[in-house]
Amino acid sequence: MSLPKTSFGILSIVHLYVLGFVYDIAVGLFLVAVYNLYLLLLPSRWTGTKGDKLVTYTWLFLLLFISFFTFFAEITFWQEFESRFNFIAVDYLIYTYEVINNINESYPLPLLIAGVLLSVLVLIWFFAKAKVFTLAFHNRLPFRTRAVFSGSLLVLTVSIPLLLSNSFADTSSNRYQNELSKAGIYSFFAAFKNNELSYNDFYSLLPKNEAYHVIRTELKEHNSRFLKAGHSIRRIISNPGPVYKPNIIMITVESLSADFMQHFGNKQKLMPVLDSLADTGVSFTNMYATGTRTVRGMEALTLSAPPTPGSSIVRRPGNQNLFTVGHVFEQEGYHRTFYYGGDGYFDNMNEYFGSNGFDITDRGRNFKMGDTYKTKRTIIGDKQVHFENAWGISDEDLFDAVLRGSDQQYKQGKPFYDFIMTTSNHRPFTYPSGEITQLSGSGREGAVRYTDYAIGKFIEHLKLRPWFKNTVIIIVADHCASSAGKNEIDISKYHIPCIILNLPRDGRQVISKMCSQIDLYPTLFSLLGWTYQSNLYGKNVLDAGYHPRAVLGTYQKLAYLSQDSLVILGPQQKADTYIYNKEKNEQIPARLSSNVVDRAIANYQTAYDLFKNGGMHQ
């Protein structure tokens, strides 16, 4: 799958293996560190005893099991992300329930574990037969001699994390070469260590006053007025015309790449419903997600902010009572609800939405995380579920919960805003049988078809509601189905569809300007004629003075795309610049004006500063 994209030369292959060998040596030292300490402290008279042999072979079994299991885990992880272990793997280790069930439903886990165990036992038998440890069991070195050998290795083991950064492998413009040069276990612990990165310590900076001057200049619109000077982006945005306050239902679709739709060149007719809807509503044809994880999509769609380095703000401490899009709806008198088909403790979703004023409706099978928010939580019960897998209930069951909840909100006489997060378009790609012709569990294609079917069925049910005529529906992706490519940040892997349906006064409209996920709600508020206070980085794409740009990132690399000018910021204060050829999806190294680079830095520097210093709060 990845081989055709590598394009390695001879020197690249040599470099890959040499650097990979260094990382493997480092991993080997880590794995034997405890046994090394055991050999140092083992009295000479105990060498070769039954107890010594038991400890040695037990430790050998553990090391071989970890090595073999990691090898197969890396293969499956690469199939999904085309990357060595990264911070996603760290997250997955935390949320064991979903991950273990997902793996069990996607792969023959008992057979894989049995195969690993058998391989380990065969290798141990071979070692015993070849008497590999005979010398070790009869070698009674004095403590001083052992201290020299073991001590040297232990000092080297402790020093390696300080001397060998995982980013040392990121020297090539070919991301596959960089990733293959690394070692999975080393990458995992490097990601664990760097789950949150300080922008101020690792990235290019402008003087603080200058950074805020640059971002305020970029965010300034003809109808906006900043509320205070200095280190703030808080402003009043005035929109003329009649004011509408319809109900808003946003369907955030798991892993919905633009290229699943016929509108963007797909020939398989995977999403006939969405393709049809795109012809009747407001369609954004050049929108880009900010990240590659669901929590990044949630961050963009609620906070309308660039993705700061490290973990999403959804998962960070100190994210309560933020100035979110939900807060704007609150100021306009809306009731707000977050709907999720899985367990909302995953990725801190319930805590984030609940502590920012949303009621919660989720599957609710796990309560062990101890939610602390004070808003209402509704559990989708077993009797209301017809199908579920490791990640959650089917999209149809989730949409039924939305209909029940929205009916109740309508009876209370207040407009409502629903944030829906689907799960069906996710490995293991299983869904109710009989709804579409493609068999459940047969792959991504079937899951995409089912998701499209479920959305169509949901909208048909919406049309029967008395409140439908006063309800706007938004369909948008959280991120693309795949983010990996030849480049560190592959722009084409961030391209997502977005459709707004049933607006009070606007029919079909195609918005072809390049824009970001963070621009969705500022544009919607303009279409609704709202005058509101904003602390958002998003802008109204329909404004005559809108300057096309997109903000994108991984957990370390941060990109700013302005027209065809691309700036990628990285640790060690790196700021790489390119010309982006969209047709060929190529990033051509080029020297850009300092103005573009400054805008890139200002977006990320000020977003990080506002969150860390309380400027994103209400």
Q: Which residue has the tokens 């001590």?
A: 151
pTM over 0.95: no
Q: What is the pLDDT of residue 530?
A: 97
Q: State the pLDDT confidence band at 106, using cuts at 50, 70 and 90.
A: confident
- Give the bridge partners for 284, in sequence order: 498, 511
Assess whether pLDDT exceeds 70 at residue 173.
yes
pLDDT, one tens digit per residue, over 231-281 is 999 999 999 889 999 999 999 999 999 999 999 999 999 999 999 999 999
State both tokens at 312.
């999403």
Contact 85, 191 (CB under 8 A): yes
Rg (CA), the chain: 27
Assess whether pLDDT exceeds 70 at residue 366.
no
State both tokens at 338.
């977050």
pLDDT, one tens digit per residue, over 279-337 is 999 999 999 999 999 999 999 999 999 999 888 999 998 999 999 999 999 999 999 99
User: Over the chain, what is the mean pLDDT?
Assistant: 90
Q: What's the rounded Cα separation, in Å, for the pair 291 and 494? A: 7
Q: Where in the chain is the domain with CATH 3.40.720.10?
A: 208-612
The CATH code belonging to domain 208-612 is: 3.40.720.10
| Sign, CA torsion 499/505/509/515 | negative
Q: What's the rounded Cα separation, in Å, for the pair 460 and 301? A: 25
Q: Of 193-207, 217-231, 592-606, which gets the smallest average pLDDT?
A: 193-207
Q: What's the rounded Cα separation, in Å, for the pair 606 and 206? A: 10
Assess whether pLDDT exceeds 90 at residue 552.
yes
What angle do the packed helices 444-462 and 395-411 form, to 10 degrees? Answer: 20
Q: What is the pLDDT of residue 194?
A: 59
Q: What is the pLDDT of residue 210?
A: 98
Assess whether pLDDT exceeds 90 at residue 230.
yes
Q: What is the pLDDT of residue 193?
A: 67
Assess whether pLDDT exceeds 90 at residue 107.
no
Residues 6 or more apart from 77 whose CB is under 8 A from it? Answer: 83, 84, 85, 89, 184
14-23, long-range: CB within 8 Å, 24+ apart, which pairs? Answer: 15/171, 15/172, 15/177, 15/181, 16/177, 16/180, 16/181, 19/168, 19/169, 19/181, 20/180, 20/181, 20/182, 20/183, 22/164, 23/164, 23/169, 23/181, 23/182, 23/183, 23/186
Assess whether pLDDT exceeds 90 at residue 499.
yes
Assess whether pLDDT exceeds 90 at residue 395.
yes
